[in-house]
């Protein structure tokens, strides 16, 4: 549709590889045989009805949830129970949550420098420089010394994005980053995300903002009942979906 | 156009569900947890079997003297033979039916208050709260309407403990509410008086207060003025607990939005009427769990009257353990006391949790 | 700025002015309080005079003449009642402080255990909490004193550890240090080590901020703390003679002893209070949403770091206010020591001294003031801490 | 004044010990018995002609003076030693001596001591707030001995502690030691050491500043001693009141003169005391002497004309 | 505009009279020389930017706030510190709040009978009859035995109106009665208020519902910074305001 939908430069470098991933909550089979490859610079939007397992899928990618069967490889590291491995992966995968989850007892700046300093063992000065850089990137450098409680929802979510970026992740995961925001704030967050996409960040994004999906996604994945039902480039996905579930879903969600 | 065929749900891998899965995730999820489980099991094994052995298997239940006990396990014979004293103290044996009757009346009278569908619940409740103390006093103490007097010095045991706690809460509640209102008053002098009162009572240990009441009080009164020792202890306990209740109630008052005060005022209700009709009913309902918790604390605190020589439940047990005929029964005595206190307090705390739960639901309505 | 109302106020309308009323009401209340106070004071004065009871605080200088089994400062029978006051106060503070420390440690362990992923540990913690918080502390003190500690063997059959520590029904005896030639070098070395550790910590933090590198602070600190004094000992000789307890005719004498009264009261109070603190801690930790843990995890923080940097700082602000009232309760409950003959403030001063001198009013006033002072100090300290950690919000 | 207050409320409030066999203790029915209790009963008999018009307050040693000072009790009859400071500074007046006592030591035979001088280093159980506490420290200091005091509020606790071995020796007034001993599980394992380290005149006391009431309590006590000296017993006193020829007896029993009126008491006050409570010898015998479990010799407490110290001023 | 805008019958009977009223909150001068006369049956709408003192003005009328200078006379009673006087005035002035402020522990019926029974000392039976009458008037008689928490916002606000009416007030004050309501409920409350206006109730209403003002008001008063800036009949006010601040305000508020 526009220049954002071009295939990324090095299409062959796999960043995420899910092979036959299954997951159960107790007896409940949430993820069924998920197969998904994401190459570097790809921007993927996950959508689907509530409870279809979108969150679970991306939470499996940084081991906030454990999968029980199948293989997940992130940037060449396989996710096992090895704590070292998990730590490495987590520091390379940034995640942004629906409810921001900023640390309320730390200032915006401290939120951003915490992980670089303690995980990357970065000097404080340097961590702060990088943090300010990213805060400028999300256009709130002037809030650096406030506490999260003093910011609006949109501002908080942008801080959350900056916080994740400060770890210089290779992949960013977003779990409905705008759904807890008032309508007037959604745009500022989406703009920030579009900016990120333009810089070539590999992104996996659970969202129902179809406008956003059209603008930035290389691929839209539709999930239902724990399975990937359809995946396609957004033009195809929105104009001419193959699957009847997808059509139904789209008809409900668009207008 | 295709129709997606959903894959069937598969059963979870057996190591993730069922007993095995449960144990894996709840007992052995990591090496540290496995270690903790083993340590926990060892602890249980260390405590439970000897305890069961002592309290039940090897225990002696029948007999009437110390010699009937093998001393391998607990000697419950001791409790059994002193049971009446633990319950009634030195209340004359032939008049104990009066205590029983008072207790039965208390329970029977209170039941309708806890049932959902009692008609005129509020009116019945107020009537009960006024009438019962009179009846109970008549039954327990007597001295009028043809009832033989049993002086308070003969009261004792669990009966006394319960009486102190009940009178304590009945007195502390209204006083505590007044103090809470006073503490939030706009009149600085009233506020200062209430704050001082509350902070004083919350700052000193109950036993010093009880000691004062038991031996020093007449020093402050004109000569010849005489108050019953039990009554003085109760007054002190009421003051003491009222300070705590006041803080609980204050929390409730603070939780009532300002709009409620304004709406009441705008309707022309004065201070007392808006308090009685609008604010307090809401505030008190909010803090019922807090009040029950205060009552539990009060119930436990009654054991301190031992320090001033009142024959409450704990004291009657302590005295019994000093009886030469039953020497060496401390453990049995204290375990029994602990059990009884525990039953009461645990029961009440469950009730308070239940209320909290119910209130939570009420708010979400 | 005030209105001068044009309607001429009638006499009665003054009474209906809320401001007038408020004044009147307050005056009445103050008058009543003052009146009652004066009435009691007056009665007391007359009663004291009529009965020839001495009053005033002069008695504090009189010699006490009785022995005290545990005193943290030097005390002999010929010391004054004033000194007995300090002995009692220190004994009370000892119970309170040790009790608070133990209860806090135990309480935090319990609170964390209540949230353990391990079912068994969770249940055990619940059973502990439900058992001990529902039994009166006084009963627990009696239980420890009369049912647990009293049956310990006598001094002759002490349970002993390396013939240096002895446990019996007289308490726990242990060696006591006495100054020897090497004491000053030893103490100086220790002080130097402590200062060095503090400096090291500072330096390590600055270095971490500057370069991000870690310095093994813990191990170096331990090395310093042990090494320096050890060097001093090697160079200047032993710092202390140890007076090892020895069995004498009646008792094991010499060394330090922790009397069973102290053990009972401290055990009972900390076990009791820990049950409440455990619940407080659990509620505090639970008040921090799970999202915080996930966010920290997704940033790559380790569980230990998450707890230390994210969870605990937030939980503390919920924990502190109820924790304060638990501390206050424990300090007040320390007065129950009087029930088993531990020489605390209440038992020594409001008990024995009062009885020997007969000056009830003075001794009780002093005792109550002490407890009020303790309560207020704890409150102020905790409020200050609470303010420091309060969250800033809009 | 106390007498009016007592008459108004209809009973004597009497402070007694919280459990000391022979002196004051509650039996299994909760009824109080003992010498100290009998003093209270004598006062009630004198005032009301009814020895049962007494209410008891069980007091610990620590509470007792405050309770009397404050007016919580009218009479303190609780094995209390008469000392100068108590008499003078505390606002008490001792009315007489019911029992001449001295402080001693009770030890387990197993410890194997036969004299208090061998007690160096011992742990000693005492009751808080007693002269005992002070005498003990004097005695050990004078003899250059070490000791560790463990002070309890009640005698139950000190006895229990001796039994459990928390202390090696229990010190108290000798009479109390005998009383304590029978409260032990195996009394025969314990002995009272021969040393008596102090003078302990025990007697009832009243508040200072009320001479009238003081006299009543004092003379109730003297009446019992005089009765024994004159051979009056609970069995014969009524008879004697009617038939006596002995002027001493007649004056005491109100058959002659108005000695009761001087005390603001009924004429037959002494008759009632002796009839309902007994003479001093009877009281002693019943509670602590041969007729009791304690089996204490009269010793110092024999009448003056029998080699003892009990001596009452004449009624005249 | 329509027949509702006709002048009330007895235009000369003054119900509210404010003369040179000043009020301070601490050092902050909220009301500056307010002069306002309201005759019987008049319906006045107060509007103005947030913080301009509208709420404070009407709260002064029944002494929820105390004014510090000037005179307020309500239905012939001057507002002084006399409690009796205040009570009389309060029972003649009904007030409806933004957040309803119903008493949640009482049923709808009990909410309505509370003041008549305790202030007017009316027998319970009679109070209930009147209450049912007014509940019918606001068209929710069937909810009489429910608790406020069980009603929707619009229903609650109607109960609040009925509750105020039960005291048979001569004047009704409304403080943004619809601003806490979801849009679909605003109409039912406004309809109720229009009904009241048609019955000739003297009303003072703080609201930003300009449609309502057009329909029922005799006079619209515009306040800013604690002063009455302009007052005029609605036709004039909306079509041809004199003051530039009024114009600015209207331009912001009308679409
Ligand atoms: N911790 C859990 N335990 C048990 N079931 C869970 C848990 N978390 C999620 N589920 C269930 O797993 C299913 C998938 O959840 P998931 O959160 O992945 O859905 P989703 O597609 O993100 O939905 P939404 O759009 O509502 O966020 C849902 O049915 C949910 O109820
Ligand atoms: N209790 C108070 N103490 C101090 N200032 C107050 C108080 N109540 C209101 N104010 C201030 O007085 C000014 C006027 O308040 P008021 O509530 O009357 O405004 P309003 O016109 O009703 O505004 P809104 O449309 O926001 O309700 C505001 O600046 C407000 O901040
Ligand atoms: Mg989701
Ligand atoms: Mg307003």
Residue E132 confidence (pLDDT) above 90: yes
Task: Report the distance separating Cα D19 and Cα D16, nearest Å.
Answer: 9
In chain B, what residues touch E163 (CB-CB under 8 Å)? Answer: 267
pLDDT given for residue C8 in this prediction: 43
Segment (H or E) for B293: helix B280-301
Query: Which range has the worst mean pLDDT, A69-83, B22-36, C110-124, E209-223?
Result: B22-36
Indicate whether residue A51 lines ligand 1 (CB < 6 A): yes
Residue D270 confidence (pLDDT) above 70: yes
pLDDT given for residue C269 in this prediction: 93
Q: Does A225 touch chain B (CB under 8 A)?
A: yes
Residue A7 confidence (pLDDT) above 70: no
Q: Does E147 touch chain B (CB under 8 A)?
A: yes
Nearest to E68 among C2, C7, C18 (CB): C2
Percentage, residues of chain E above pLDDT 90: 24
Q: Does C205 touch chain E (CB under 8 A)?
A: no
In chain B, what residues touch D178 (CB-CB under 8 Å)? Answer: none
> What is the dihedral angle through the alpha carbons of D75, D79, D82, D88, rounded to the nearest 10 degrees?
-40
Segment (H or E) for C159: strand C159-161
Probe residue for ligand 2, chosen from E31, E49, E53 as the CB with the greatest number of ligand atoms within 8 Å:
E53
Indicate whether residue E51 lines ligand 2 (CB < 6 A): yes
The number of residues in chain E equals 255
* One-character DSSP codes across C208-277: HHHH-----HHHHHHHHHHHHHHHHHHHH--SEEEE--EE-SSSEESSEEE-HHHHHHHHHHHHHHHHHH
Residue A68 to residue B1, Cβ atoms within 8 A:
no
Indicate whether residue A118 lines ligand 1 (CB < 6 A): no
Q: What is the pLDDT of residues E67-93, one digit of tens each?
A: 888 999 988 888 888 888 888 888 889
* Cα dihedral across residues C161, C162, C163, C164: positive or negative: negative
Nearest to E78 among C5, C17, C19 (CB): C5
Residue C9 confidence (pLDDT) above 60: no
Indicate whether residue E52 lines ligand 2 (CB < 6 A): yes
Nearest to B215 among D9, D26, D66 (CB): D66
Task: Report the distance separating Cα E248 and Cα E240, nearest Å.
Answer: 12
pLDDT given for residue D269 in this prediction: 87
Mean pLDDT computed over E60-69: 88
> Taking the CA atoms of chain C, what radius of gyration do you get in angstroms?
29
Mean pLDDT computed over D134-162: 82
* One-character DSSP codes across A157-180: HHHHHHHHHTT--SEEEEESTTTT
Which residue minimizes the CA distance to atom 3 of ligand 1?
A: A25
Q: What is the pLDDT of residues D187-238, one digit of tens each?
A: 888 888 888 888 889 999 998 888 889 999 999 999 999 899 888 888 888 8
Residue D185 to residue B327, Cβ atoms within 8 A:
yes
Residue C72 confidence (pLDDT) above 90: no
The ligand whose atoms approach the alpha carbon of A53 most closely is: 1
Task: Report the distance separating Cα D188 and Cα D195, nearest Å.
Answer: 19
Which tokens is E177 given? 């009665």
The ligand whose atoms approach the alpha carbon of E208 most closely is: 2
pLDDT given for residue A12 in this prediction: 64
Residue B260 to residue E103, Cβ atoms within 8 A:
yes
Q: What is the pLDDT of residues A90-131, one digit of tens each?
A: 888 999 998 889 998 899 999 999 999 888 888 888 899 999
pLDDT band at residue C247 using 50, 70 and 90 as cut-offs: low
Residue A68 to residue B16, Cβ atoms within 8 A:
yes
CB B192 within 8 A of CB B347: no
Q: With a cut of 0.95, is the ipTM above it? A: no
pLDDT given for residue A1 in this prediction: 40
Query: Which range has the worst mean pLDDT, B158-162, B236-240, C88-92, D116-120?
Result: D116-120
End-to-end CA distance of chain A: 21
Q: B92 vs B241, which has greater pLDDT?
A: B241
Which tokens is A149 given? 């409680």
Q: How far is the CA of A219 from the centre of ligand 3 (A)?
A: 19
Residue C213 to residue A94, Cβ atoms within 8 A:
no
CB E137 within 8 A of CB E59: no
Residue C307 confidence (pLDDT) above 90: no
Residue B341 confidence (pLDDT) above 90: yes
pLDDT given for residue E172 in this prediction: 92
Residue B208 to residue C138, Cβ atoms within 8 A:
no
Task: Report the distance separating Cα C350 and Cα C338, nearest Å.
Answer: 10
pLDDT given for residue A9 in this prediction: 45
Mean pLDDT computed over D145-171: 82
Q: What is the pLDDT of residues E144-175, one digit of tens each?
A: 888 888 888 888 998 999 999 998 899 999 99
Task: Report the distance separating Cα B301 and Cα B315, nearest Å.
Answer: 13
Indicate whether residue E53 lines ligand 2 (CB < 6 A): yes
pLDDT given for residue C3 in this prediction: 38
Residue B263 confidence (pLDDT) above 50: yes
Q: What is the mean pLDDT of chain D?
A: 85
What single-letter DSSP state applies at residue B72? S
Residue D265 confidence (pLDDT) above 90: no
Please, what is the angle between helix D2-9 and helix D35-48, to 10°? 80
CB C336 within 8 A of CB C265: yes
Q: Which atom of ligand 2 is nearest to the CA of E226?
A: 14
Residue D24 confidence (pLDDT) above 60: yes
Q: Count the Cβ atoms, other than its own, within 10 Å of residue B257.
A: 12
pLDDT band at residue E243 using 50, 70 and 90 as cut-offs: confident
Residue D30 to residue B89, Cβ atoms within 8 A:
yes
Q: What is the mean pLDDT of chain A?
A: 85
What single-letter DSSP state applies at residue B148? P
Q: Which atom of ligand 2 is nearest to the CA of E48?
A: 21
Probe residue for ligand 2, chosen from E22, E23, E49, E52 as the CB with the greatest number of ligand atoms within 8 Å:
E52
pLDDT given for residue A5 in this prediction: 42
pLDDT given for residue C12 in this prediction: 57
Indicate whether residue E30 lines ligand 2 (CB < 6 A): yes
Q: How far is the CA of D213 from the centre of ligand 1 (A)?
A: 87
pLDDT given for residue E4 in this prediction: 44
Q: Does C78 touch chain E (CB under 8 A)?
A: no
pLDDT given for residue C103 in this prediction: 94
pTM of the model: 0.82
Mean pLDDT computed over A6-32: 77
Alpha-carbon gap: E91 to the closest alpha carbon of chain B (Å): 5
Chain D, nearest residue to B308 by Cα: D59
pLDDT given for residue E174 in this prediction: 92
Which of residues 12 through 41 in chain A touch B, CB cutoff 8 A? 22, 24, 26-27, 29, 32-33
pLDDT band at residue C99 using 50, 70 and 90 as cut-offs: very high
Most confident among B8-12, C191-195, D26-30 (mean pLDDT): C191-195
Mean pLDDT computed over C206-225: 76
Q: Single out the residue of B99, B55, B94, B48 nearest to residue B73, CA to CA.
A: B55
Residue C18 confidence (pLDDT) above 80: no
Alpha-carbon gap: B291 to the closest alpha carbon of chain C (Å): 16
If you search the block for the tokens 């062959």, which residue do you land on?
A12
Task: Report the distance separating Cα B34 and Cα B38, nearest Å.
Answer: 6
Q: What is the pLDDT of residues C23-55, one digit of tens each?
A: 888 899 899 999 999 998 888 888 777 777 777
Chains E and D touch (3+ CB pairs under 8 A): no
Q: B328 vs D104, which has greater pLDDT?
A: D104
Q: How far is the CA of A98 from the centre of ligand 1 (A)?
A: 14
Q: Could you tell me the maximum CA-CA distance found in chain B, to the nearest angstrom?
A: 104
The Cα-based distances of C127 to B334, C114, C120, C121, C131 in angstroms read 19, 10, 11, 10, 6
pLDDT given for residue E12 in this prediction: 64
Q: Could you tell me the maximum CA-CA distance found in chain E, to the nearest angstrom?
A: 55
Percentage, residues of chain C above pLDDT 90: 18
Task: Report the distance separating Cα D56 and Cα B153, nearest Å.
Answer: 8
Task: Report the distance separating Cα B237 and Cα D153, nearest Å.
Answer: 22
Percentage, residues of chain B above pLDDT 70: 96
Cβ-based contacts under 8 A for chains A and C: 90
Phi, psi angle pair for E131, to nearest 5°: -60, -45
């Amino acid at each position: 549709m526009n220049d954002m939908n071009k295939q990324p430069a090095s299409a062959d470098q796999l960043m995420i590889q899910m092979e036959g991933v299954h997951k159960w909550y107790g007896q409940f089979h949430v993820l069924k045989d998920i197969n998904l490859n994401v190459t570097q610079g790809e921007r993927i939007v996950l959508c689907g009805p509530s409870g279809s397992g979108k969150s679970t899928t991306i939470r499996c990618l940084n081991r906030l949830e454990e999968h029980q069967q199948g293989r997940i490889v992130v940037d060449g590291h396989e996710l096992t129970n090895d704590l070292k491995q998990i730590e490495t992966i987590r520091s390379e995968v940034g995640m942004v949550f629906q409810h921001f989850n900023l640390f309320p007892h730390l200032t915006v700046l401290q939120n951003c420098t915490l992980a670089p300093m303690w995980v990357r063992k970065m000097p404080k000065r340097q961590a702060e420089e990088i943090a300010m850089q990213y805060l400028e990137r999300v256009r709130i450098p002037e809030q650096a010394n406030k506490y999260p409680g003093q910011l609006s929802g949109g501002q908080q979510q942008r801080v959350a994005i900056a916080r994740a970026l400060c770890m210089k992740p290779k992949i960013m995961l977003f779990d409905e980053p705008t759904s807890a925001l008032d309508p007037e704030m959604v745009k500022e967050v989406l703009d920030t995300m579009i900016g990120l996409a333009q810089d070539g960040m590999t992104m996996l994004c659970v969202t129902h903002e179809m406008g956003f999906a059209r603008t930035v996604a290389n691929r839209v994945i539709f999930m239902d009942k724990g399975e990937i039902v359809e995946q396609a480039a957004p033009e195809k996905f929105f104009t001419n979906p193959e699957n009847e579930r997808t059509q139904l879903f789209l008809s409900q969600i668009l207008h | 156009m295709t129709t997606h065929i959903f894959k069937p749900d598969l059963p979870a891998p057996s190591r993730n569900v069922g007993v095995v899965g449960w144990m894996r995730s709840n007992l052995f999820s990591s090496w540290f947890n496995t270690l903790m489980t083993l340590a926990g099991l060892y602890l249980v094994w260390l405590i439970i079997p000897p305890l069961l052995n002592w309290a039940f298997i090897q225990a002696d239940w029948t007999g009437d003297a110390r010699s009937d006990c093998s001393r391998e396990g607990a000697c419950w014979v001791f409790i059994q033979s002193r049971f009446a004293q633990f319950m009634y103290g030195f209340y004359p044996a032939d008049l104990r039916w009066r205590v029983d009757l008072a207790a039965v009346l208390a329970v029977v009278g209170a039941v309708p208050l806890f049932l959902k569908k009692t008609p005129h619940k509020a009116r019945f409740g107020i009537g009960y709260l006024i009438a019962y103390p009179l009846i109970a006093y008549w039954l327990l103490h007597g001295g009028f309407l043809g009832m033989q007097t049993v002086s308070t010095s003969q009261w004792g045991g669990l009966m006394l403990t319960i009486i102190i706690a009940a009178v304590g809460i009945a007195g502390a509640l209204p006083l505590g509410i007044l103090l809470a209102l006073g503490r939030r008053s706009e009149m600085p002098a009233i506020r200062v008086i209430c704050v001082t009162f509350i902070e004083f009572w919350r700052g000193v240990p109950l036993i010093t207060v009880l000691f004062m009441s038991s031996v020093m009080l007449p020093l402050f009164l004109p000569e010849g003025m005489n108050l019953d020792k039990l009554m003085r202890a109760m007054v002190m306990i009421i003051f003491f607990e009222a300070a705590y209740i006041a803080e609980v109630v204050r929390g409730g008052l603070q939780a009532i939005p300002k709009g409620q005060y304004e709406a009441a005022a705008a309707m022309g209700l004065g201070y007392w009427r808006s308090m009685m009709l609008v604010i307090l009913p809401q505030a008190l309902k909010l803090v019922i769990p807090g009040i029950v918790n205060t009552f539990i604390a009060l119930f436990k605190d009654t054991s301190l009257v031992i320090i001033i020589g009142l024959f409450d439940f704990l004291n009657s047990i302590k005295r019994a353990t000093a009886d030469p005929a039953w020497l060496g029964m401390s453990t049995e005595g204290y375990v029994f006391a602990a059990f009884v206190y525990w039953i009461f307090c645990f029961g009440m705390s469950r009730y308070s949790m239940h209320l909290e739960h119910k209130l939570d639901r009420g708010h979400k309505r | 700025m005030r209105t001068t109302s044009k309607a001429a106020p009638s006499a009665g309308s003054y009474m209906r002015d809320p401001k007038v009323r408020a004044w009147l009401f307050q005056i009445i209340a103050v008058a009543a309080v003052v009146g009652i106070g004066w009435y009691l004071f007056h009665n007391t004065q007359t009663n004291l005079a009529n009965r020839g009871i001495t009053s005033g605080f002069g008695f504090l200088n009189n010699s006490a003449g009785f022995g005290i089994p545990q005193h943290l400062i030097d005390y002999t029978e010929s010391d004054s009642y004033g000194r007995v006051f300090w002995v009692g106060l220190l004994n009370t503070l000892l119970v309170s402080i040790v009790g608070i420390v133990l209860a806090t440690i135990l309480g935090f362990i319990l609170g964390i255990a209540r949230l353990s992923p391990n079912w068994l540990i969770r249940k055990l913690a619940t059973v502990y909490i439900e058992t001990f918080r529902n039994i009166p502390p006084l009963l627990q003190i009696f239980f420890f004193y009369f049912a647990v500690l009293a049956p310990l063997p006598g001094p002759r059959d002490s349970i002993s550890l390396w013939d240096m520590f002895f446990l019996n029904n007289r308490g726990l005896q242990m060696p006591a240090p006495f100054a020897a030639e090497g004491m000053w070098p030893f103490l100086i070395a220790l002080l130097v080590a402590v200062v060095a550790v503090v400096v090291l910590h500072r330096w390590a933090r600055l270095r971490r901020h500057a370069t991000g590198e870690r310095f093994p602070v813990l191990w170096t600190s331990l090395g310093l703390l042990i090494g320096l004094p050890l060097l001093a000992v090697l160079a200047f000789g032993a710092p202390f003679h140890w007076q090892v307890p020895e069995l004498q005719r009646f008792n094991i004498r010499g060394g330090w002893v922790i009397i069973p009264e102290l053990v009972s009261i401290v055990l009972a109070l900390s076990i009791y209070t820990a049950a409440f603190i455990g619940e407080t801690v659990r509620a505090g930790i639970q008040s921090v949403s799970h999202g915080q843990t996930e966010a920290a995890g997704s940033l790559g923080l380790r569980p230990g770091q998450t707890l230390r940097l994210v969870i605990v700082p937030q939980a503390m602000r919920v924990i502190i206010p109820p924790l304060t009232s638990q501390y206050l309760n424990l300090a007040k409950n320390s007065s129950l020591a009087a029930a088993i003959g531990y020489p605390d403030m209440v038992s020594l001063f409001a008990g024995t001294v009062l009885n020997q001198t007969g000056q009830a009013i003075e001794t009780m006033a002093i005792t109550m003031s002490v407890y009020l002072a303790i309560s207020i100090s704890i409150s102020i300290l905790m409020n200050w801490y609470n303010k420091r950690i309060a969250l800033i919000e809009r | 004044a106390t007498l009016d207050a007592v008459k108004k409320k209809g009973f004597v409030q009497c402070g007694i010990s919280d459990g000391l066999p022979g002196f004051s203790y509650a039996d299994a029915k909760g009824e109080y018995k003992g010498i100290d209790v009998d003093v209270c009963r004598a006062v009630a008999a004198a005032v009301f002609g009814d020895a049962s018009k007494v209410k008891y307050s069980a007091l610990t040693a620590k509470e007792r003076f405050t309770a009397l000072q404050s007016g919580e009790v009218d009479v303190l009859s609780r094995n209390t030693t008469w000392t100068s400071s108590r008499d003078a500074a505390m606002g008490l007046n001792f009315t007489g001596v019911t029992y001449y006592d001295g402080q001693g030591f009770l030890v387990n035979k197993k410890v194997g001591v036969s004299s208090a001088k061998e007690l160096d280093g011992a742990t000693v159980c005492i009751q808080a707030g007693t002269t005992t506490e002070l005498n003990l420290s004097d005695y050990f200091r004078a003899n250059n001995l070490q000791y560790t005091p463990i002070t309890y509020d009640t005698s139950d606790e000190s006895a229990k502690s001796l039994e459990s071995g928390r202390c090696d020796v229990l010190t108290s007034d000798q009479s109390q030691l005998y009383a304590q001993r029978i409260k032990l599980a195996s009394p025969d394992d314990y002995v009272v050491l021969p040393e008596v380290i102090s003078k302990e005149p025990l007697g009832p006391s009243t508040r200072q500043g009320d001479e009238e009431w003081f006299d009543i309590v004092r003379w109730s006590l003297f009446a019992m001693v005089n009765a024994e000296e004159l051979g009056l017993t609970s069995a014969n006193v009524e008879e004697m009141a009617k038939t006596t020829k002995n002027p001493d007896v007649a004056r005491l029993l109100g058959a002659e003169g108005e000695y009761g009126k001087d005390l603001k008491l009924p004429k037959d006050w002494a008759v009632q005391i002796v009839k309902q409570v007994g003479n001093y010898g009877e009281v002693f015998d019943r509670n602590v002497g041969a007729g009791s479990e304690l089996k204490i010799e009269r010793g110092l407490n024999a009448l003056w004309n029998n080699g003892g110290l009990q001596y009452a001023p004449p009624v005249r």
